[in-house]
């Protein structure tokens, strides 16, 4: 019988499994799942470093070395990364790391290939008024989503160092986006300043309707007028599609001299 071995999946969306081992004075974190987990671990443990796996072990394809004793908070942090979606960032140089709370849709259990909205997506759709609902129900959806986002920020040891929130503007300049509404709630909840982000285009297509070339223009669509020198910035979006919109706001933060730029989305679209 052939032994079944783990094959790294480039489509992985979270930390699937992890283990800590010790060799001499060094500790090694070995894991499988999305390789971008390494960015998050090095973000909270800057003294650690990514190293190759011994004999390219396919069961544990990613390895991080720590020449110090990690405390118990590392295990809690890794457990957290198993609960959220760790985003592989394709637009390099703008965001240092990013996560999403959940998918926007998931395959239905009927096996027919249908997609159903996740609870996170249902909250977003209520806030966007895509579904018919009383205002009280819309308000509760916003508060519940804010609590989930707040919990993620608090539990992520890197994200909870954020000093500013930059919410992604909507495609209509004078209409507050869901991201801005959530950013306002989070700013009040966590005491993190919400910094305005401006658009250069008064009206643009929703990102999900753009061609690849149009999406690429989003990298230069936004502007931040305040000086963010050395600050840790949290870019907030309601739905992560291709990443260009979030990266565009991150680029605006970089131009404003931000030190670290992190991304947080409520939901991630299944489309690649």
Q: How confident is the model at residue 271, as a pLDDT?
A: 59
Stretch among 57-66, 75-84, 135-144 having the lowest mean pLDDT: 57-66
Residue 167 has pLDDT above 80, yes or no: yes
**How far is it, in rounded angstroms, from Cα 84 to Cα 4?**
27
User: Is 90 exceeded by the pLDDT of residue 175?
Assistant: no
Q: What is the pLDDT of residue 171?
A: 75
pLDDT tens-digit readout, 85-104: 999 999 999 999 999 999 99
pLDDT value of position 40:
98
pLDDT of 39-66, one tens digit each?
A: 999 999 999 999 987 666 778 999 999 9
Structural domain boundaries in the chain = 15-81, 85-268
- Looking at per-residue confidence, does 246 or 4 come out higher? 246
Residue 157 has pLDDT above 50, yes or no: yes
Per CATH, the number for 85-268 is 3.40.50.2020
pLDDT, residue 54, reads 67
Output the pTM of the full model.
0.91
SS (H, E, C) the chain: CCCCCCCCCCCCCCEEEEEEEEECCEEEEEEEECCCHHHHHHHHCCCCEEECCHHHCCCCCEEEEECCCCCCHHHHHHHHHCCCEECCCCCCCCCCEEEEEEECEEECCCCCCCEEECHHHHHHHHHCCCCCCCHHHHHHHHHHHHHHHHHHHHHCCCHHHCCEEEECCCCECCCCCHHHHHHHHHHHHHCCEECCCEECCCECCCHHHCCHHHHHHHHHCEECCCCCCCCEEEEEEEEECCCHHHHHHHHHHHHCCCCEEEEEEEEECCCC
């Amino acid at each position: 019988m052939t032994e079944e071995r783990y094959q790294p999946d480039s489509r992985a969306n979270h930390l699937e499994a992890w283990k800590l081992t010790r060799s001499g004075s060094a500790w090694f974190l070995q894991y499988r799942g999305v390789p971008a987990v390494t960015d998050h671990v090095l973000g909270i443990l800057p003294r650690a470093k990514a190293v190759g796996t011994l004999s390219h072990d396919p069961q544990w394809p990613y390895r991080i070395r720590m020449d110090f004793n990690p405390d118990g908070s590392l295990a809690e942090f890794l457990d957290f990364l198993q609960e959220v979606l760790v985003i592989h960032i394709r637009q390099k140089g703008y965001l240092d790391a990013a996560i999403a709370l959940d998918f926007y849709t998931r395959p239905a259990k009927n096996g027919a290939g249908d997609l159903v909205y996740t609870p996170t997506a249902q909250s977003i759709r209520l806030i966007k008024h895509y579904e018919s609902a009383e205002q009280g129900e819309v308000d509760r959806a916003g508060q519940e989503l804010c609590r989930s986002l707040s919990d993620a920020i608090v539990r992520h040891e890197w994200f909870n160092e954020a000093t500013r929130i930059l919410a992604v503007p909507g495609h209509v300049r004078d209409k507050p986006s869901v991201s801005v509404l959530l950013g306002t709630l989070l700013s009040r909840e966590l005491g993190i300043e919400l910094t305005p982000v401006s658009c250069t285009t008064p009206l643009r297509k929703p990102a999900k309707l753009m061609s690849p070339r149009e999406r690429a223009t989003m990298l230069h669509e936004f502007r931040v007028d305040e000086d963010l020198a050395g600050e840790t910035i949290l870019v907030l979006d309601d739905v992560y599609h291709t990443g260009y919109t979030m990266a565009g706001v991150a680029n605006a933060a970089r131009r404003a001299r931000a030190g670290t730029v992190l991304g947080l989305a409520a939901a991630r679209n299944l489309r690649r």
